[in-house]
Amino acid sequence: MLIRRFAMTAVALSTLVACANPDAAPPAASGGAKPSTESIVSSVKKDDALAAGLPPAIVSAGTLKVGSNIQNPPNNFYAEDGKTAIGSEVDLAKAIAAKLGLKVEYSDMAFSSLITSLQSGRIDMTMAAMNDTAERQQAIDFVDYFTSGITIMVQKGNPSSVKGPDDLCGKGVAVNLGSSQEAYAKEQSTKCVAAGKGEVTVTATDSDTQNQNQLRTGRVAAILNDLPTAVYVAQTAGKGEYFEVVKADPINGGPYGIGVNKDNPQLSKSIQAALQALVDDGTYTKILESWEVSQGAISKVTLNGK
């Protein structure tokens, strides 16, 4: 996946570090929409049995050191004060820590530094919209917690009645130039034509503002983007009055993973068990629903996809 861009509002842009381009380092985003999740996270109680499985060093510290690249709404970004980390991942990290009887200490760093910081012991885990890939599994372990993928964003009210990929046949879509969304749109167009339906007219630009203007004015029926990014744009552009995300499973979905040092399997298993407990008791779902990203929810927490 390449660098995606998203709109903080209809007219102001920031850039987003995509999970597979760790060398990009755009400016931090702040001031986004903040749902009320404090009561959900604060209700999580320590599970003594799960906490007993933690490595002694973590128990002694009483803190789970989390590394992230805090500029990725709605996963993780700064509140209006420019200092407080918020987002769906931040809430999940706090809930995992609470289940294990720990506090959370965040370190904001370049995406490209996350894996080396794990390996050096500077941090205990990463949670930064990082895809769990076979290549990265050579360096670190992953506790998978979310499924992302391509999502369809439409005008508020969905006037073009787009409910899934097949409804794009004969319609126009906007995508970021050179992105995986552009490649998918062209693949879908080929399928539409083969099925005797109209082609998908693909407009690829390097401007999210331009893409959103085309959708708002009806020149295209949809925009294709990553799930969390599309959700955030829909929440914030025009104060949530311009767009909405089609409720469907992510297209070409893949897992986001919590990164853990391979030399610390005990911690990986503790995090996996704590997150599974949060899935089972509904806390996980409540957090994702609060941030409107429940389409990426999982039911079984896996370690390296197994």
Do 277 and 173 sit in the same domain of this protein?
no
Q: Prior bond to 74 cis, omega within 30?
A: yes
Token pair of 12 as six digits: 């102001």
Judge whether 235 lies within some domain: yes
| Per-residue pLDDT band at 297 (split at 50, 70, 90) | very high
Amino acid type, 252: N
Does residue 232 have a pLDDT over 50? Answer: yes
Instruction: Write down the residue that tokens 């993973």 correspond to.
Output: 257
Q: 277 and 230 in one domain?
A: no
Task: Enter the tokens of residue 198.
Answer: 């109209």
pLDDT value of position 113: 95
Same domain flag for 124 and 69: yes
Domain span at 104: 4-148+252-296
Domain CATH for 286: 3.40.190.10
How many domains does the chain divide into? Answer: 2
> How sure is the predictor about 276, in pLDDT bands with cuts at 50, 70 and 90?
very high
Please check whether residue 225 is in contact with residue 233, taking contact to mean a CB–CB distance below 8 angstroms: yes
Share of the chain above pLDDT 70, in %: 89
Establish if 181 belongs to a structural domain: yes
Shared-domain flag, residues 57 and 185: no
pTM for this model (two decimals):
0.81
Same domain assignment for residues 110 and 218: no
**Coarse DSSP helix, strand, coil percentages of the chain, rounded to the nearest 5 percent:** 35, 25, 40
Same domain, residue pair 246 and 262: no
69-110: pLDDT as tens digits: 998 889 999 999 999 999 999 999 999 999 999 999 999 999
**Tens digit of each residue's pLDDT (9 = 90 or more) over 108-133:** 999 999 999 999 999 999 999 998 99
Task: Let me know whether 24 and 141 are in one domain.
Answer: yes
Residue 87 lies in a domain: yes
Measured between alpha carbons, how far is 203 from 196 in angstroms, rounded to an integer? 21
Report if residue 71 sits inside a domain. yes
The answer to whether residue 306 is domain-embedded is no
